[in-house]
Amino acid sequence: MNDLTVRRSFLRAACFALALAPLAGWAQLAPASGEKPLVVRSIRVRAEGGQASESFVLGHVALRTGEAFTRDAVASTVRSLYATGRFNQALVVPELDPKTGQVDLLIIVEPRPLLREIVKGGRVDLIDLESDALKVAGFGVGEPLDAAAMQRAVSALQKELRKERPFVVLTTKVVAVPTGVQVVLSASESPSLKIDVIRIEGASALTEKEIIAGAELKTEERGFWSYLFLGALFSPRLDPEEYRRDCNRIRDFYRLKGYLDVEVIEQDPAKACIIKDLQDGSGKLDVVFKVKEGRRYTIGALSITGNKLGASNPVFSAESLQKVVSEPSLRRGAYRPEVDRFIAGEAFATPALDAATEKLKEYYGQMGYLNAQVEAVRTPNLQTGVIDVAFKIQEGERFTVRSLDIQGNTKTRATVIARELALSPGEVFDLARARVSEARLRNTQFFEEVRVVPVPSPVPNQSDLRVIVKEGSTGSVSFGAGYSTVEQLVGFVEYSEGNFDYTNPEGWYRGGGQKFRVRVQAGSVSNSFEHSFEEPALWERDLAVGYKIERRYTGYFSANYNVVNEGVGVYARRRSQDDLVGHALLGAGHARRIQLPDQRFASLAFRGDRRQRPRR
């Protein structure tokens, strides 16, 4: 399906190139600078394989009689004619009169026939001409027939039908009729099928359950609920495209287990699967995957060479580097658990070897050796199935950070970005700390995209730390209103900005990394006010300070009194380690009850409170 689309795209490109081909011979006839330009003497239109309106074609020609002839105008004409969607082919053929220096143009077009009707053929009960799948731009009754658009529509409808009939095939036939063409859409015979069981033929070393679960197949067999309802509900169906992808998943799972020569023999579900219990146009389907396991390969001896630093630094000794390979990565989630360890005697898996190679590069990168290269050389023993692996290391030079290069920050100040970095100029270029810096910048939620990468500098053994960001949305304004039997009519408005800067009015008070929030809510029997502010780096130090002020009035707790809650809080926070934050909070507040005036006892009030009017 996709191959057909690609071929049609190449065909269109070839037609466009063919349309410009006549211009190649004009390169030598093009007027040189200062000479009189060629002039268009006449323009003719010729339609081949159909009829075309001459006035319509001329309306898209960028050349006019008496005007100068240019290749750009010819190219524009061809593009314009193709863009109308009415022609399969459009050519501009120039003919030069060497005596007069004038050009006669012949416009050759091949019109697309008009689609007059779409009719059913074959299994007419399967086809719904009103289906949304057939509603594709360029394929409709009364429009010029676009073969590519027709194929897209048919493919979409076939995909829709295959949800219940996995092996149905749609075909089209174009029939000439007066003033146009007719498209006959036919469907092949295909029963409605529900999956019964999944079978893995040829599996001996691994069980079917292991393969289905380990390969995470998307094709599902009947479960408990399907049997409970006798298949009327919860019965899965086969998706042929997903079946082919499941074949690849089985192959990859076997290779993770060391079976490098495994083959999935048949990838055509119509031939591999078995239809059974066929009755009244429906039945069950056994989904069959056929495999040839081959032999299992294991990891043999592991050796490490080229680690010259190991002679003076035990961190780079062969024992330390082998631990890097055999133990899980300290970067949580960096590698899948099944490939995160590479140990002698275990199943040999290429993804695990690739992960081991990357972990060695990362290990050296954490020490500043950015250009360290690791090559894994495999030596297989075809008789025993053991593969020895030698890691050859080229350590390179140690790099330090020369300077910071921050790009893409259109509103956030560079100092806000720099203070989130775990690396500073003059320090050893640690790739692990560069990743921490990247994570910190993402956690600010100021940016949609963040990249922290080393960039070579002209100074030997020094590299620049480039930070590339894409600004995101950090502020929001929300408001609303409602009614409830308790609070009655209530409305609110709130403004928050996660990248606030009170010193930057020109930038709409944004870019300083400060947190600002204010919310006001008012109602018939209650209202509230909340305001908070945080400075994440007081005096450009790793010390965040902030405060919060709130006041709440509630008039529905009792028929005898109202309640007012007021408070203020001040806090400080400091990051002591990469993942450890200290927090100190100092707050004060009080609540008071205001008695209604018709009561005989007085209410208590805290000093400094405003007098509250009694509720009516």
pLDDT at 254: 95
* Average pLDDT taken over every residue of the chain: 83
Q: In this structure, are residues 284 and 276 in contact, taking their beta carbons and an 8 Å threshold? A: yes
User: Is 422 a member of any domain?
Assistant: yes
Q: Which segment of 37-46, 343-352, 497-506, 570-579 scores lowest on mean pLDDT?
A: 570-579
- pLDDT, tens digit (0-9, with 9 covering 90-100), for 545-580: 889 999 888 876 666 677 888 888 888 887 665 444
Which tokens is 430 given? 């640690």
Straight-line distance from the first to the last Cα atom of the chain, in angstroms, rounded to the nearest whole number: 76
pLDDT at 596 over 90: no
Nearest-angstrom CA–CA distance, 1 and 183: 19
Residues 479 and 586 in one domain: yes
Same domain for 502 and 582, yes or no, is yes
Distance CA 177, CA 393 (A): 73
Residue of 304, 158, 348 lying closest to 240 (CA atoms):
158
Q: Mean pLDDT across the stretch 343-364?
A: 94
- Whether residue 365 is predicted with pLDDT greater than 70 in this model: the reply is yes
Q: Is there a domain that residue 586 lies in?
A: yes
Per-residue confidence at 190, pLDDT binned at 50, 70, 90?
confident
610 found inside a domain = no
Residue-level pLDDT at 253? 95
Residue 616 lies in a domain: no
- Stated as kind and residue range, the H or E segment containing 326 is helix 318-326
Q: What one-character DSSP code corresponds to residue 82?
A: H
Q: How confident is the model at residue 382 (pLDDT cuts 50, 70, 90)?
A: confident
Residues 404, 446, single domain; the answer is yes
Q: How confident is the model at residue 585 (pLDDT cuts 50, 70, 90)?
A: low
> Do strands 400-407 and 386-394 pair parallel, antiparallel, or not at all (unpaired)?
unpaired
Structural domain boundaries, residue 270: 192-292
Angle at 303 between CA 300 and CA 308, to 5 degrees: 175
586 shares a domain with 484: yes
Work out the average pLDDT over 13-29: 45
Q: Averaged over 574-602, what is the pLDDT?
A: 54
Q: Is the pLDDT of residue 601 over 80?
A: no
Q: How many domains does the chain have?
A: 6
What is the three-state SS of 150-186?
A: HHHHHHHHHHHHCCCCCCCCEEEEEEEECCEEEEEEE
CB 229 within 8 A of CB 191: no
pLDDT tens for 250-271 read: 999 999 999 999 998 877 888 8
Tell me which of 153, 187, 221 is where a domain ends: 187
For residues 326 and 238, membership in a common domain is answered with: no
Percent of the chain whose pLDDT exceeds 90: 32
575 and 480, same structural domain? yes
- Asked if residue 424 has pLDDT above 70, the reply is yes
Does the structure show a pLDDT above 70 at 498? yes
Do 288 and 306 lie in a common domain? no
Q: Please check whether residues 457 and 544 belong to one and the same domain.
A: no
Q: Is 512 exposed, middle or buried (0-12, 13-18, 19+ CB in 10 A)?
A: buried
Q: How far is CA 571 from CA 223, 514, 515, 533, 534, in A?
A: 55, 14, 13, 10, 9
Q: What is the pLDDT of residues 505-514, one digit of tens each?
A: 888 888 888 8
DSSP 362: H
Looking at the DSSP bridge assignments, the partners of residue 289 are 200
- CA-to-CA dists, residue 95 to 14, 25, 36, 193, 316, angstroms: 22, 11, 17, 63, 76
CA neighbours closer than 13 Å in the CB half-sphere of residue 570: 2
pLDDT > 60? residue 434: yes
Task: Kindly state whether residues 493 and 580 are assigned to the same domain.
Answer: yes
Closest alpha carbon to 515 in 495, 529, 536, 530: 536
Q: What is the CATH number of the domain that holds 410?
A: 3.10.20.310
The last residue of one of the domains, among 111, 140, 158, is 111
Question: Is residue 224 over pLDDT 80?
Answer: no
Cβ neighbours around 93 below 10 Å, total: 16
- Give the pLDDT of residue 582: 54
pLDDT at residue 588, rounded to an integer: 60
pLDDT, tens only, 81-139 = 888 888 888 899 998 888 888 889 999 988 888 888 888 888 788 888 888 888 888 78
Q: How confident is the model at residue 21 (pLDDT cuts 50, 70, 90)?
A: very low
d(CA 111, CA 75): 19
What is the reported pLDDT for 63? 85
> Which residue in this structure is represented by tokens 């065909």?
11
> Which residue, 471, 488, 514, sits at the end of a domain?
471
Q: What's residue 258's pLDDT?
A: 94
Q: What is the pTM of this model?
A: 0.68
User: Tens digit of pLDDT for each residue in 402-420?
Assistant: 999 999 988 888 888 988 8
